[in-house]
Structure 1
Amino acid sequence: MEQLTVPGTLDSLSKISKYVLSAASAAGLDKKATYRLRLAVDEIATNVISYGYEDAKIQGNLDLQAKIDDSSLTILMEDRAAAFDPTTKFILEEDSINLPIQQRAIGGLGVYLAIQGVDRFMYERIGDRNRNIFVVNLH
């Protein structure tokens, strides 16, 4: 699929969602897998926009590229915000999920749910870019 480039603003989330839904449809994903992928990409994109761009008071784009092959749909999402590996937050959130409810902070499980929602999630820092990779198996 053609790459999608959008400004790193919350207004771009609907375009990102439409792109992911279009890729999921082209790959033939069922409703459940489509929902989980859209949720995962939306959560990470929201974090990049909110923390990586807005809180840091910088502007940048998000670049998304969908790749479909015989076995999977892969969404690559890149940004130029400060380095942030969501898998480190995943480990912290995974630890807190087993705490009694009275000891858990309100919220804070978005990255955990995002990463759990796809078959594979990877993070890379390439030069000055973060690359978040979401993979959903087709079979």
Structure 2
Amino acid sequence: MAHAVDVRIRNDISDMGIVRDTLDNLAREFRIPGRALAQLQVALDEAVSNVIKYSWDDGGQHEFLVRITVQPDRVDLEIFDDGREFDPVTTLLPHHAPQGRRPRPGGLGIHLINKLVDRFAYERIDGRNHTTLSKTCEVGIAVQRSEK
């Protein structure tokens, strides 16, 4: 049975801690393996920081949604934002520069995400970016909570 938690945050780097804490709490509750958790944490940090830094040009305050879903065989991280259209999946790999020259910036974080997760997908739906990161792992069964 899947367990999903939605977290709304502002496009402010200080809000990244809210998403990190939510993932950590779910990892404890559902016994997400340590290696998978570490990979998810880095991938989530990269993806969320990219949204915060690059999605909006107006300098204003915006909100976006991060959904963390724990499945018996994987963890899905979904990011929904109304920023400018950007497909990270089709972004080129970081540029290599000749010896002694600096490479052009960009793409390294996305390349890292691609290496850390098992599925990296993107869709533009109704003017919103929907990015999905999935990590396959065996997740422990949480103690059932009684419904009152």
Q: Quick check: TM above 0.5? A: yes
Query: C-alpha separation between the residues in 2 aligned to 1:71 and 1:119?
Result: 12
Verify the 8 A CA contact 2:33 2:137 in the aligned structure 1.
no
Query: Paired residue for 1:118?
Result: 117
What is the CA distance between 1:79 and its match in structure 2?
Answer: 0.8
Query: Paired residue for 1:14?
Result: 17
Query: Paired residue for 1:62?
Result: 64
What is the CA distance between 1:49 and its match in structure 2?
Answer: 0.7
Query: C-alpha separation between the residues in 1 aligned to 2:122 and 2:100?
Result: 32
The structure-2 alpha-carbon separation of the partners of 1:28 and 1:106, relative to structure 1 and needing over 3 Å to count, comes to: farther
Work out the percentage of aligned pairs sharing the same amino acid. Answer: 25
Q: TM-score, normalised by structure 2?
A: 0.78
Aligned amino acid, residue 125 of structure 1: R
- List alignment gaps of at least 5 residues for structure 1: none
Per the alignment, in what secondary structure is the counterpart of residue 64 of structure 1? strand
* 1:52-80 CA distance string (max 9 Å, x none): 13x44243212111222221111111111
Query: C-alpha separation between the residues in 2 aligned to 1:80 and 1:106?
Result: 27
What is the CA distance between 1:45 and its match in structure 2?
Answer: 0.9
Aligned amino acid, residue 43 of structure 1: E
User: Which structure has the bigger radius of gyration?
Assistant: 2
Query: C-alpha separation between the residues in 1 aligned to 2:71 and 2:48?
Result: 24
What is the CA distance between 1:101 and its match in structure 2?
Answer: 5.8
Per the alignment, in what secondary structure is the counterpart of residue 84 of structure 2? coil
What is the CA distance between 1:116 and its match in structure 2?
Answer: 1.1
- Report the count of equivalent residues: 134
Q: TM-score, normalised by structure 1?
A: 0.83
Query: Paired residue for 2:143?
Result: none
Query: C-alpha separation between the residues in 2 aligned to 1:101 and 1:16?
Result: 39
Query: Paired residue for 2:90?
Result: 88
Asked if 1:136 is matched to 2:135, the reply is yes
What is the CA distance between 1:103 and its match in structure 2?
Answer: 5.1
The structure-2 alpha-carbon separation of the partners of 1:26 and 1:106, relative to structure 1 and needing over 3 Å to count, comes to: farther
- List alignment gaps of at least 5 residues for structure 2: 139-148
Bigger proportion of residues as helix? 1
Verify the 8 A CA contact 1:8 1:59 in the aligned structure 2.
yes
Per the alignment, in what secondary structure is the counterpart of residue 55 of structure 2? helix
Query: Paired residue for 2:35?
Result: 32
